[in-house]
Amino acid sequence: MAGWLTRRDLGRLVSLTGAATTVATRARAAVRTWQTTGHSLPGLGGFDIAVMAFMQERGIPCGSLAVAREGRLLLARGYTWSAGTVPATSPTSLFRTASVTKPITAAAVLHLTQNGRISLSDRVAPVLGLDTGADPRLGDVTVLHLLQHLGGWDRSVSTDPMFDDAAIATALGRRLPVGHGDIIRFMGRRGLDHAPGTAFAYSNYGYLLLGLLVQKVAGVPYERYVRENVLAPAGVVRMRLGRTLVRSPGEVPYFSQYRGATVMDPSGAQAPAPYGTFNQENNAFNCGWLASAVDLVRFVRVYDGTTPVLSRGSAALAFAPPSLGRGPRGRYYGCGWHVRPGSAFHPGSLPGTHTLLVRRTDGVVWAVMFDQRDDPSGERYRDIDSALRETADDVETWPAGDLDAVQHRPLATG
């Protein structure tokens, strides 16, 4: 084993194979044990150790990781750290993707532009019939502005309407739950925080409008268009939109230390944070897809320009800098992707969910998914990014095989 583990890996292994950690003991009274499923090609054991150490430090019950290189699936794992209270996680287990949905919605929009159905310079308000009376600047918002979070809505100035259901219901004199039409009416009254194209401000609402745009232009429901025109050509068949209160077959349970008032009815009842404190159906286009980690690394291939979904030219648009240029350390947001030197990536975070999808310029891709984003340890969940980058950098020779080409073919369609 030591022949392919680094010194840092061995240190992590000591932690994993020793007695239950202080954090795990503090988080759960019952003794947890590990279950791992799936397969990995030789030389990639450091990834298992990185993910298991991360989960154990934070008491995360379910996790999954897939790693690919140049289109070949090299690792597909499910990890369960529990006292037997949750089903074993498999490489094909479905997780909420949270904001990793945004590269999926962006691919659908770029597919429509590639086929001449809409232009990136088209103004959104006329297509969707948005009321610009309260703020005429809304009429200047383009498709490209929405893709690059330059539409003018700023959740640091005012709240994120995709997670402010009670305030929207109150403002409109409606009973919960609210729907897409209510959110759009509310935002039309509020107006923009910046002139379109002048400031980057991450906007879930902008991606709601993009999803509605896909439906309007394509003439079919968003989910159907994405599944038929983006996912199926990439060999992904099990992804679907998630629901707030109902788990799909194969979907993991979600955990949080928090509770809050439900937004799914007007009762004001307290609900577990992952199951009712936000409306998953309203967030379908910005945070809504369910996927396995294998699904996501397979989906990323549409951005290689080697599938029928996006040409190389269309895919390149996703990683081009916006008109504002690059930010600190050369970082910026393209079309559905954060871009930094050496890679494009997108994290996702919801109550009960933490995800990350990374596409490196050296051809290495990984997706990691967890069913928890908070715990009493106070450890940062975003640290999985650096942990996996360091692990990938430590791989001296990537294996030449492909899990899809041997006996593990079902992993390819998970």
Tens digits of residue pLDDT in 157-180 = 989 999 999 999 999 999 999 999
pLDDT band for position 410 (cuts 50, 70, 90): very low
The Cα 50–Cα 56 span in angstroms is 10
Whether the per-residue pLDDT at 14 is higher than 70: the answer is no
Give the integer Cα–Cα distance in Å for 192 and 388.
38
CA angle in degrees (0–180, nearest 5) for 206-232-223 = 35
Distance CA 5, CA 8 (A): 8
> Is residue 24 pLDDT above 60, yes or no?
no
Contact 212, 220 (CB under 8 A): no
**φ, ψ dihedrals at 168, nearest 5°:** -65, -45
Report whether pLDDT(411) > 70: no
Do the domains spanning 2-95+239-413 and 106-227 agree at the CATH topology level? Answer: yes
pLDDT value of residue 277: 98
Cα dihedral 256, 262, 268, 271 sign: negative
Q: What is the mean pLDDT of residues 276-296?
A: 98
Please state, in angstroms and rounded to a whole number, the distance separating the CA atoms of residues 365 and 293.
Answer: 11
Q: What is the mean pLDDT of the chain?
A: 92
Determine phi and psi for 271, rounding to 5 degrees.
-135, 150
- pTM of the predicted model as reported, rounded to 2 decimal places: 0.92
Residue 393: the pLDDT is: 98
**Banded model confidence at residue 405, pLDDT cuts 50, 70, 90:** confident
Q: Is the pLDDT of residue 8 over 80?
A: no
Hey, CA dihedral for 307, 312, 317, 320, is it positive or negative? positive
353-360 and 343-350 strand pairing:
antiparallel
Domain segments of the chain: what residues?
A: 2-95+239-413, 106-227
Query: What gap in Å lies between CA 157 and CA 213, rounded to an integer?
Result: 25
Whole-number pLDDT of residue 394? 97
CATH code of the domain occupying 2-95+239-413: 3.40.710.10
Instruction: Name the band, by pLDDT with cuts 50, 70 and 90, for residue 406.
Output: low
HEC assignment per residue over the chain: CHHHCCHHHHHHHHHHHCCCCHHHHHHCCCCCEEEEEEEECCCCHHHHHHHHHHHHHHCCCEEEEEEEECCEEEEEEEEEEECCCCCCCCCCCEEECHHHHHHHHHHHHHHHHHCCCCCCCCEHHHHHCCCCCCCHHHHHCEHHHHHCCCCCCCCCCCCCHHHCHHHHHHHHCCCCCCCHHHHHHHHHHHCCCCCCCCCCCCCHHHHHHHHHHHHHHHCCCHHHHHHHHHHHHHCCCCCEECCCCCCCCCECCCECCCEEECCCCCCCCEEECCCCCCCCCCCHHHHCEEECHHHHHHHHHHHHCCCCCCCHHHHHHHCCCCCCCCCHHHCEECCCCEEECCEEEEEEEECCEEEEEEEECCCEEEEEEECECCCCCCCCCCCHHHHHHHHHHCCCCCCCCCHHHCCCHHHHHC
Mean pLDDT lowest among 4-13, 44-53, 309-318: 4-13
- pLDDT value at 21 more than 60: no
Closest CA to 82 of 22, 120, 35, 50: 35
Which tens digits make up the pLDDT trace of 338-384? Answer: 999 999 999 999 999 999 999 999 999 999 999 999 999 999 999 99
CATH of the domain spanning 106-227: 3.40.710.10
CA–CA gap between residue 333 and residue 319 (Å, rounded): 8
Distances in whole angstroms, Cα of residue 260 to Cα of each of 212, 227, 349: 29, 33, 17
Q: 196-245, pLDDT tens digit by residue? A: 999 999 999 999 999 999 999 999 999 999 999 999 999 999 999 999 99
Encode pLDDT of 135-144 as tens digits.
Answer: 999 999 999 9
Among candidate residues 393, 389, 388, the one with its CA nearest the CA of residue 54: 388
Segment 25-46, tens digit of pLDDT = 344 447 999 999 999 999 999 9
Give pLDDT, residue 279: 98
Q: Which pLDDT value is given to residue 84?
A: 84
* 254-271 mean pLDDT: 98
